[in-house]
């Protein structure tokens, strides 16, 4: 009897680890594709796809195309969420991975503005919209596959590996892009920048092999067996959880602006605002993101022990307090050492306090039968407001009044909104026994 119980427990742990591993690797691949576009927007697309603009205007236009991907994310979240709650989590994750991989490879094959004129940026935006649609369905399914397989006491830690896939994808995108950016300028701008996008075809194959081996979420199987599946999961999620949907959107604002400040905007800020070399900035982003792969699960594990509220709110306060010192220190010194240290603090230490607990928090805010739809739509709309327009807004603010003057107030406002949203969302009567 004891052996049977031990064998069952071991089998359950194996299934859980496989689900978490598959979610982490698949999400890493999808975010590699997504962030590769952001890196190229800061360094390449403004010159190859928007050459008719000035440097600043071209960068803003490139980041505008970057934002277009975020506009498609709620649509992807709604569509994938609907079928994820109706058909299953696993199949939707396979489709999202294929869609993202195909769009990324297509970007690597696009002709430039010099070759086909205005159709070049148009096709670039179309590919970006497909990327956004795919990643809009990715997050909710990957989170639920991890969280719904896990023990209730370790759901924060389990869900955090999906979150860790984001900086892991950023590391991979930054390292691959940096390797090819070391080519002579002419070679890099003519063909070198394309190779990282084409590399996605290989990653797509690896991701599919891993994801096809994972079992369906046990909680979804229970919903299916009980006959509780709804015909319109998104409508039902909004009907049952209208406040939680709004709170989920608000909870995303600060962590998203935090991430895109240090992952994307910093490339433009460091090279044009501080006069640093591109080759020096990319490794800084990669190292900071690499450290975050470890600190995100650590922050989430802490939230399993002391509660989501304490950890998350600490992150929002620290980001607000750090917004002025980050810019003032860098503009006073303008060195790669200072930029490296301040970036690690912002991306590797502060951001995980919010981003780590976020996955489990969202899963706990919605009923299982509408969870994919509810969590996805809240997260993806929040991603637009907090992150989608962030690089474009940050560049515009820096061009208007200087980064150290104009950007910190914007960040502080978003932190205040997130603080209120998370504080309300983590009330005992709002989330039940999950809050401590």
Q: Above 80 in pLDDT, residue 46?
A: no
Q: What is the pLDDT, as a whole number, of residue 281?
A: 87
In angstroms, the first-to-last Cα distance of the chain is 36
Confidence of residue 58 (pLDDT cuts 50, 70, 90): low
3-state secondary structure of 231: coil
Q: Above 60 in pLDDT, residue 261?
A: yes
Under DSSP, the state recorded for 215 is P
Handedness of CA 277, 278, 281, 283 (dihedral sign): negative
Of 173-177, 240-244, 305-309, the range with the highest mean pLDDT is: 305-309
Confidence of residue 10 (pLDDT cuts 50, 70, 90): low
5-9, 106-110, 212-216, range with the lowest pLDDT: 5-9
Q: What is the Cα–Cα distance from 301 to 359, expressed in whole angstroms?
A: 12
The per-residue pLDDT of the chain, averaged, comes to 84
Count of positions (residues) in the chain: 436
**Do 162 and 24 form a contact (C-beta atoms < 8 A)?**
yes
Q: Above 80 in pLDDT, residue 11?
A: no
Q: What is the pLDDT, as a whole number, of residue 287?
A: 92
State which H helix or E strand residue 419 sits in.
helix 403-425
**Do 346 and 321 form a contact (C-beta atoms < 8 A)?**
no
**pTM for the full model?**
0.82
**Do 408 and 109 form a contact (C-beta atoms < 8 A)?**
no
Nearest residue to 211 via CA among 366, 56, 72, 95: 95
Query: Which domains can be identified in the chain, with CATH numbers?
Result: 2-434 (1.20.1250.20)
Q: What is the pLDDT, as a whole number, of residue 194?
A: 92
Confidence of residue 218 (pLDDT cuts 50, 70, 90): confident
Q: What is the pLDDT, as a whole number, of residue 430?
A: 57
Q: Which tokens hold the place of 402?
A: 């200087």
Neighbours of 321 (CB within 10 A): 12
Under DSSP, the state recorded for 149 is T
For the residues 83-87, what does the mean pLDDT come to?
82
Q: What is the Cα–Cα distance from 248 to 374, expressed in whole angstroms?
A: 9
133-137, 190-194, 297-301, range with the lowest pLDDT: 133-137
**Do 109 and 124 form a contact (C-beta atoms < 8 A)?**
no
Q: What is the Cα–Cα distance from 87 to 426, expressed in whole angstroms?
A: 30
Q: What is the pLDDT, as a whole number, of residue 251?
A: 95
Under DSSP, the state recorded for 433 is G
**Do 18 and 213 form a contact (C-beta atoms < 8 A)?**
yes
Q: Above 70 in pLDDT, residue 235?
A: yes
Q: What is the Cα–Cα distance from 150 to 17, expressed in whole angstroms?
A: 9
């Amino acid at each position: 009897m004891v052996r049977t119980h031990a064998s069952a427990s071991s089998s359950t742990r194996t299934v859980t680890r496989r689900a978490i591993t598959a979610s982490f690797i698949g999400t890493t691949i999808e975010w590699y594709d997504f962030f590769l576009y952001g890196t190229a927007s800061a360094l390449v697309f403004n010159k190859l796809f928007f050459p008719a603009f000035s440097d600043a205007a071209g960068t803003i236009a490139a980041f505008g195309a970057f934002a277009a991907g975020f506009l498609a994310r709620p649509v992807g979240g709604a569509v994938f969420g609907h079928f994820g709650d109706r058909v299953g989590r696993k199949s939707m994750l396979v489709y999202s991975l294929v869609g993202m991989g195909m769009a990324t490879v297509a970007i690597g094959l696009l002709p430039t503005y010099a070759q086909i004129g205005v159709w070049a940026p148009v096709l670039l935006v179309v590919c970006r919209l497909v990327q956004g649609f795919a990643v809009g369905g990715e997050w909710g399914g990957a989170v639920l596959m991890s969280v719904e397989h896990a023990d209730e006491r370790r759901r924060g830690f389990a869900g955090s590996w999906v979150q860790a896939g984001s900086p892991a994808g950023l590391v991979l995108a930054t390292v691959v892009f940096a390797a090819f950016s070391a080519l002579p300028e002419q070679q890099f701008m003519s063909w070198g920048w394309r190779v990282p996008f084409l590399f996605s075809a290989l990653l797509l194959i690896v991701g599919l092999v891993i994801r096809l081996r994972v079992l369906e979420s046990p909680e979804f199987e229970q919903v299916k067996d009980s006959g509780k599946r709804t015909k319109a999961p998104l409508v039902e999620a909004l009907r049952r959880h209208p406040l939680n949907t709004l709170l989920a959107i608000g909870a995303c604002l600060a962590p998203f602006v935090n991430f895109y400040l240090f992952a994307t905007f910093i490339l433009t800020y460091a090279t044009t605002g501080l006069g640093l070399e591109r080759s020096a900035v990319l490794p800084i982003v990669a190292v900071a993101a690499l450290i975050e792969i470890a600190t995100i699960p650590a922050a989430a594990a802490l939230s399993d022990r002391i509660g989501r509220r304490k950890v998350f709110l600490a992150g929002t306060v620290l980001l607000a307090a750090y917004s002025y010192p980050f810019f003032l220190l860098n503009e006073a010194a303008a060195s790669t050492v200072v930029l490296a240290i301040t970036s690690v603090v912002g991306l590797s230490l502060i951001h995980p306090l919010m981003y780590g607990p976020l996955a489990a928090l969202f899963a706990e805010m919605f009923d299982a039968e509408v969870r994919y739809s509810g969590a996805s739509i809240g997260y993806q709309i929040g991603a637009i407001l907090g992150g989608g327009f962030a690089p474009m807004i940050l560049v515009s603010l820096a061009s208007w009044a200087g980064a150290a003057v104009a950007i910190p107030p914007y960040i502080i406002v978003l932190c205040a909104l997130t603080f209120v949203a998370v504080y309300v969302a983590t009330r005992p009567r709002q989330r039940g026994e999950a809050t401590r």
